[in-house]
A and B are shown apart, each in its own frame.
Chain A
Amino acid sequence: MRVAYWPGCVSRGFTPELHGSMAAVAPLLDIELVPLDRAACCGAGVIAEHNPELADTLNARTFALAQQVDGAELMMNICSTCQGAQAECQQRLDADDDYRARVNATLARAEPGLSYERGLTNKNLLWLLVEEIGLETLRAKVRRPLTDLRVGPFYGCYIVRPRERVGIDAEHPRDTYLQLVIEALGGTVIDYAGTYKCCGFPIVTTNKHASLRQAGRHLADAQEAEADCLVVPCPLCHLNLDLQQPAAARELGRPLAMPVLHLPQLLGLALGLSPKQLALQKHVVRPTSVIDWSAAVVGAPA
């Protein structure tokens, strides 16, 4: 399937291994990525906090660009925060015809020919996997099942809350998809306290201690539940859980060694790609419990 692909900023900035692994995995899932490389940052909730109409207009431009992609079935992102921040803007735009007309007028002045039409479908890779590709198809594509790999799911706030905007209901139990995907890939789901909690990243500049305590607590919980790794569909969570993990360990005063994988990396391992192709060596916490580096295959836990 052809999708208008929004990689977000951080996947091309401080977590380049995310963008790279998505590009590597896409053909194996028959996803054709048409990158929206003309679009601006989603604002991550911060621009909406500053001026909601500014965030809405910037994202309306992104949506309009996505709607111009020939043959794209929908827009796809690989970041929980982009998903949530864009959904919030889309909700305001879709709810009010007059407001949308005003935003579109600004858009047309800024870039003639651009206009957002109500009702774009924008899905995080996780939702696309379960709802568009399907778990059966995914299971059939697995070439190297993640047998005995104990994976802790970590969603990121923006794709599990608020439930109404996220669209979690009986038909779309989106707060279970990570577990379903881990199982479909042959892995073992680890039940630990952090799955639906906040990584703490948004307050890393305003209250660093609290931010690191949040990240550290979830990592420690996963460690105590004997997880081999966590998997996240959000690069901002990844920054606080992986890049900041040594700092979180200092904050907690206890050692932490919990590898954190981006969702496309976990997919890639199961679909037969090598750890190198997925740039797993770029993580701050080396996924040694996930990978037997000498043989470059998924290894059994220690």
Chain B
Amino acid sequence: MADYTLRVRRFDPDDHQGPYWQEFAVALEPHRSLLEALLAVKGEQDGSLALRCSCRAAICGSCGVRAGGRARLACNTHLERVADADGAIVVEPMGNMPVIKDLVVDMDAVHWKKIHRVTPWLLPEAPEPEREHLVPHAAMVDVTQTMACIQCGACVSDCLSLEVDPEFVGPAASAKAYRFVGDPRDGAQEQRLRDLAEDEHGIYDCTHCFSCIDACPKGVAPMDQIMRLRRIAGVDHEIVDHNNGERHEEAFATLIHDYGLLHEAELLPRSYGGNSWFGKFHPAAGLELVESLPAIAKAVLRGKVKPGQALRGHRLARGDLDAVHAIYDAVEAGAPSERERVAARDGGGQS
């Protein structure tokens, strides 16, 4: 047995005092779950503590809370893993969603709305086969990673893009979108991708912060799925979106090919105006340039950026650049599409 202090962030909409912290002492073995501790509090100390739970086996996805600094399922979190040296455990409702009461958040208002937004059902390619669909085994194994999602909302809670842009489609819905984009039976791959690429709060709104990967209790790695959606949209379908997502990626890859090192002064205008030296003369690049002028002027004024050097960029020596070109030629020529990459994983056998 060990002594723990649960420091719970509580909120009751019916009393008008706003959220407050309350401490509860519990004695449990360190390997027992946070959910057991919370239920012990509810059962023995304060029946008014509100929380959701059901299966206690990390299957139902009901008991998401924030503890030890990030979102997790209370039922598969050992007390010793989230307690500090003094045995204190801070328990809060999940983030990025309105709190209904205590540890219960409004999943409908945020999480489920976003899931519905990505058309979370199969749109089969017509005509339907007479019998079952025959699909590569590897392709179905591939989408099982996203099918492992139990809709607990932990990734939504900890998404750092959602914190500043509540309209962002978010990690859970993006992973769900990949579940159908990656499904060879689905006939709307390009339409789904175009929709998510063109949405100004779509896949290009992800900051690549890895929070969702760490928060997910089922290994769905939503951010990895977002990166694959971007790759399939930009590289395989060549969808050039209005958010500069595809242009930024293309310009980045081209500049590393041409210079070996990042050429910041070229990257920005090309991301807005198009992937060539002429990109900077596109109206969109001009507009961005005007907006950025104060920052650029300050940087030049401080001697941080030397205009001549910035415009020339840094370039690797000839021999090294030759090696970079040879790598690009070898790897980019005949690079497989994402679907081919997946199929190659087990030789593309049928199941």
Which residues of chain A have a CB within 8 Å of any CB of chain B?
9-10, 12-17, 38-41, 43-51, 53-54, 57-58, 61, 84, 106-107, 109-111, 114, 157-158, 161-163, 196-198, 200-203, 205-207, 209-211, 213-214, 217, 243-244, 246-247, 281-284
Are the CB atoms of A157 and B335 closer together than 8 Å?
no
**Contact-residue size bin, chain B (C-beta under 8 Å from the other chain):** 35 or more
Return the contact of A14 from the options B208, B214, B305 (Cβ within 8 A): B305
A236 to chain B, nearest CB (A): 10
- 28 pairs, CB–CB < 8 Å, chain A vs chain B: A13-B262, A40-B261, A41-B256, A41-B261, A47-B252, A47-B256, A49-B249, A50-B231, A53-B331, A53-B335, A57-B327, A61-B323, A110-B322, A157-B207, A161-B213, A162-B210, A163-B214, A197-B163, A198-B207, A203-B207, A206-B205, A207-B201, A209-B165, A243-B304, A281-B303, A282-B303, A283-B304, A284-B295
Segment of B10-18, B48-56, B310-318 in the binding face: B310-318
Query: How far is it, in angstroms, between the C-alpha of A47 and the C-alpha of B254 when the chains are bound?
Result: 10
A200 to chain B, nearest CB (A): 6
Known contacts A205-B268, A205-B272; A110 and B245 CB within 8 A of each other: no
Whether B130 is near chain A, meaning CB under 8 Å from some CB there, is no
Are the CB atoms of A109 and B332 closer together than 8 Å?
no
Are the CB atoms of B256 and A14 closer together than 8 Å?
no
Residues on B with C-beta less than 8 A from A48 are 227
Whether B326 is near chain A, meaning CB under 8 Å from some CB there, is yes
Query: How far is it, in angstroms, between the C-alpha of A281 and the C-alpha of B298 when the chains are bound?
Result: 12
Residues on B with C-beta less than 8 A from A161 are 209-211, 213-214
Known contacts A40-B260, A243-B295; A207 and B304 CB within 8 A of each other: no
- Name B252's closest neighbour in chain A (CB-CB): A46
Majority secondary structure of chain A interface residues (helix, strand, loop or mixed): helix
B226 to chain A, nearest CB (A): 9
Return the contact of B304 from the options A15, A57, A214 (Cβ within 8 A): A15
Whether B23 is near chain A, meaning CB under 8 Å from some CB there, is no
Residues on B with C-beta less than 8 A from A157 are 160, 207-211
Query: How far is it, in angstroms, between the C-alpha of A246 and the C-alpha of B296 when the chains are bound?
Result: 11
